Structure 1
Amino acid sequence: MTHELSLDDILFAPIVAYALVALAIMVPVRWAMWRVGVQRWVWHPALFEFCVYLIILSLLVIHV
């Protein structure tokens, strides 16, 4: 996916699509982390979740 996305004559960069897919992947990952109890061992849970989101987003950009 190297071209712009068009929605009602508005062009979106490909990173927008990657970010939405990464968000869709992050929701169950976040639920699983809370369910398993990973958040108890993390110093700053919001920062940790943001970093996991960035890792997922980076992997999508690299491999797609």
Structure 2
Amino acid sequence: MIGELNIEGVFVAPLAVWAVVAFGVNQLLRQVLIRVGLYRMVWHPALFDTALFVILWALVAALSAHLPFLQEPVR
């Protein structure tokens, strides 16, 4: 994993980018779970949403280590 990502000339910490990606996936998954009716069985929806976000964030960060275009070039 590299130290930072260059996005349009602005260096951004990769963890912040992965958080934005995980948030987007979280919102999509949340809408699906609402339509399926899972939230009727959840005791504390806000806590469930937070836990889901943290799990997705860790998953995105772990998967990013295996993406070839994010690896540092060998010199």
| Range into which the TM-score falls when normalised by the shorter chain | 0.7 to 0.9
Identity among equivalent pairs (%): 34
Runs of 4+ aligned structure 1 residues displaced above 4 Å come to 6-10
What residue in structure 1 maps to residue 37 of structure 2?
37
Displacement after TM superposition at 1:3 (Å):
2.7
CA deviations 1:16-63 (Å, max 9, x no partner) are 000011011111101001111111111100100110111111111112
Structure 1 segments unaligned to the other structure (5+ residues): none
More helix by share: 1
What TM-score, normalized to structure 1? Answer: 0.83
Structure 2 segments unaligned to the other structure (5+ residues): 65-75
What TM-score, normalized to structure 2? Answer: 0.72
